[in-house]
């Protein structure tokens, strides 16, 4: 099969690899659509995310949909020909975190496209059938590939316990921010403010339900939020940009007793943060790592058609042009949100 393999910083090559073998509980999925994630870009740029270091060639990619073409002898709930979306995390099922339902924290979890596990920038992937979900017949493969990034926002908004009537601020209107915005709207947030530095992204945020937008290049975010909320500030801030400055400014715009959810991926493991203000305002600071139990809900949100998730997709590329996709994302010369690869 053809697969795009990362060999080092800024070096990805399409080559022939064996089709993955199918274990008793696995399904073999022919990949139809797979998105380039910000974490894929991070690996491509640096060869590592934290202590996850790529030491040998690796196939990236984890936002996928496809068709089941084979299954292991223990699989009974999925059939050859089923159209599925795949949750890229496969936990051990036995550790303390798995037993209490927080399987995203499983220390033995395999994650597709994290070393040493090959991912979905390939014609086929084999994965445990328990983490493959049948798609509705009306859902396209491109829509299906958006379920994984939406699941990140769905999980984070659940962790932040957003409820009807909340005022929510989304820091960053990139793909994760827009997906988090959709999830916040689904949770019933009545006022949703989106912050970014690109007007075209803020226009997208309005399409997905933002009630107000702020361009951080042109406006003082804290003053604008105080004005929009009539001095009350926001109940919940979802920091999705991965900017240390945005993370620190989140404290300024969140009310006393409010919540800040850190969702974005930061380039640095450490940066200055106004911890004393967090303490004195009794702000709950919520970390979010991957997600658990959020795939079925995210699948339903996209299937409902309430949000036209396809508007997230700005580029389509074949597998042999995947390097072009990474460069488009890095150079930021084009208006880019989600780039879908079609093996």
User: Running DSSP on this structure, what letter comes out for residue 56?
Assistant: S
List pLDDT tens digits, range 68-103.
Answer: 999 999 999 999 999 999 999 999 999 999 999 999
Q: Is 292 in contact with 103 (CB distance < 8 Å)?
A: yes
pLDDT at 266: 85
pLDDT at 288: 96
Residues sharing a CB contact under 8 Å with residue 178, sequence separation 6 or more, in sequence order: 201, 204, 205, 208, 312, 337
List pLDDT tens digits, range 221-240.
Answer: 999 999 999 999 999 999 99
Q: What share of the chain is helix, strand, coil (3-state, %, to 5)?
A: 30, 30, 40
Q: Is 335 in contact with 199 (CB distance < 8 Å)?
A: no
Q: Which residue has the tokens 């009537």?
A: 165
CATH level 2 (architecture), domain 2-145+308-342: Alpha-Beta Complex (3.90)
List pLDDT tens digits, range 136-170.
Answer: 999 999 999 999 999 999 999 999 999 999 999 99
- Structural domain spans, the chain: 2-145+308-342, 151-287
CB count in 10 Å sphere of residue 252: 17
What's the token pair of residue 157?
């908004």
Distances (CA, A) of 76 to 62, 79, 136, 320: 24, 7, 19, 35
Q: Is 192 in contact with 173 (CB distance < 8 Å)?
A: no
Report the C-alpha dihedral over residues 82, 135, 117, 50, rounded to 10 degrees.
Answer: 180
Looking at the chain, the whole-number percentage of residues with pLDDT higher than 90 is 92
What's the CA gap between 64 and 32, in Å, rounded? 7
pTM for the model: 0.95
| Topology annotation, domain 151-287 | Rossmann fold (3.40.50)
Q: Taking the CA of residue 104 as centre, how many other CA atoms within 13 Å lie in the half-sphere pointing to its CB?
A: 15
Relative to beta strand 254-262, strand 234-239 is parallel
pLDDT at 249: 94
Residue scoring higher pLDDT (265 or 121): 121
What's the CA gap between 343 and 197, in Å, rounded? 33
* pLDDT confidence bin for 313, thresholds 50/70/90: very high
What's the CA gap between 127 and 119, in Å, rounded? 10
pLDDT at 125: 98
pLDDT at 198: 96
Report the C-alpha dihedral over residues 340, 298, 165, 284, rounded to 10 degrees.
Answer: -90
């Amino acid at each position: 099969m053809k697969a795009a393999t990362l060999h080092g910083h800024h070096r990805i090559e399409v080559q022939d690899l064996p089709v993955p073998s199918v274990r008793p509980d696995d399904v073999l999925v022919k990949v139809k659509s797979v998105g380039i994630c910000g974490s894929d870009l991070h690996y491509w740029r640096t060869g590592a995310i934290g202590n996850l270091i790529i030491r040998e060639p690796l196939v990236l990619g984890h936002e996928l949909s496809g068709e089941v073409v084979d299954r292991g002898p223990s699989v009974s709930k999925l059939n050859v020909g089923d159209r599925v979306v795949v949750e890229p995390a496969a936990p051990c099922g036995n550790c303390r975190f798995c037993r209490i339902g927080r399987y995203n924290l499983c220390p033995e979890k395999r994650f597709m496209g994290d070393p040493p596990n090959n991912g979905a920038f390939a014609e086929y992937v084999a994965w445990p059938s328990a983490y493959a979900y049948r798609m509705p017949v009306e859902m396209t493969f491109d829509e299906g590939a958006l379920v994984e990034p939406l699941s990140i926002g769905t999980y984070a908004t659940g962790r932040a316990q957003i409820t009807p009537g909340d005022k929510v601020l989304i820091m960053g209107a990139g793909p994760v921010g827009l997906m988090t915005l959709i999830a916040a709207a689904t949770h019933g947030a009545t006022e949703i403010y989106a912050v970014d530095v690109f007007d075209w992204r803020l226009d997208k945020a309005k399409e997905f339900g933002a009630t107000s937008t702020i361009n951080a290049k042109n406006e003082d975010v804290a003053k604008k939020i105080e004005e929009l909320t009539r001095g009350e500030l926001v109940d919940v801030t979802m920091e999705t940009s991965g900017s240390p400055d945005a993370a620190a400014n989140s404290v300024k715009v969140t009310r006393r007793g409010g919540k800040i959810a850190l969702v974005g991926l930061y380039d640095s493991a450490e940066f200055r943060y106004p911890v004393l203000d967090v303490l004195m305002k009794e702000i709950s600071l919520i970390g979010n790592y991957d997600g658990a139990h959020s795939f079925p809900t995210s699948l339903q949100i996209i299937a409902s058609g309430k949000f036209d998730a396809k508007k997230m997709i700005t580029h389509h590329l074949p597998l042999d042009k995947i390097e072009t996709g990474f460069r488009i994302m890095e150079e930021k010369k084009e208006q880019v949100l989600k780039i879908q690869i079609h093996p």
